[in-house]
Amino acid sequence: MSERQSKLPTLDGKRTINSDVVHLLVGMFKYRGKGINIVFGEPLPPKTAPPPRPAPKNIAAEALKVRDFLAQDPKRSYLHASRNFNVTRARISQLMKIVKTLPTDFIEQIGHSDDYALIKHFSGVNLLKIAKMDTLDDRQEHITQMHINIKS
C-alpha cells in the first residue's frame, strides 16, 4: 500500500437508515454592493479609500510655455510645438488663442499660481470660453465675476 492510500479514510461498509444530524456554527457576514454578498468564515477586509484626485493642470502655464517656445525661434510653427510638447496642433492653437486673447497680466497671474481653487476654476474649458467672448470688456467682466465666485 502506498503512502497516499494509507492517509485516505477507510470506508465503512455498513449503511444505516437513521441519519445523523450535525450542527455547524460558522460566522456569516453580509455585505452590500452591487448585490448582497454573504461570506462565511472571515470577514472581508475593509475597503480602501479611493486614490486622491490629481491636481488639475495649469493650462495657463502650459500656454505660456508654448508661447515662449514659439517666440525663441520665429521659424518654428505650431507643428514644431506640437511635437515638442507631445500634443496635437489643435491643442497648440487653443493654447495660443488663450495667450493672445486674454489679458496678459491675468495669464501671467494664473500661469505662476499654485492656488488649487484658482487653477481649478480657470480650467482649459473655462479659459477657452472666456477667450471666445467678443470684446475685451466682456472677458474682463467674466474674469472679475469668476474671481468673486472663487473668494466666496
pLDDT (tens digit per residue) in 52-81:
888 788 999 999 999 999 999 989 999 999
Tell me what pLDDT residue 69 has: 95
Tell me what pLDDT residue 99 has: 94
Domain ranges within the chain, ordered by starting residue:
59-151
Does 152 score more than 80 pLDDT? no
Cross-strand bridge partners of residue 31: 37
Rounded (to 5) percent helix, strand, coil in the chain = 50, 5, 40
Q: What is the mean pLDDT of residues 90-104?
A: 94
Of 23-37, 54-68, 75-89, minimum mean pLDDT range: 23-37
What does 45-65 look like in DSSP terms, one character per residue?
PPPPPPPPPPPPP-HHHHHHH
pLDDT (tens digit per residue) in 9-18:
666 656 666 6
> What's the pLDDT band for 3 if we cut at 50, 70, 90?
low
Name the CA radius of gyration of the chain, rounded: 33
Pairwise CA distance, residues 122 & 116, whole Å? 10
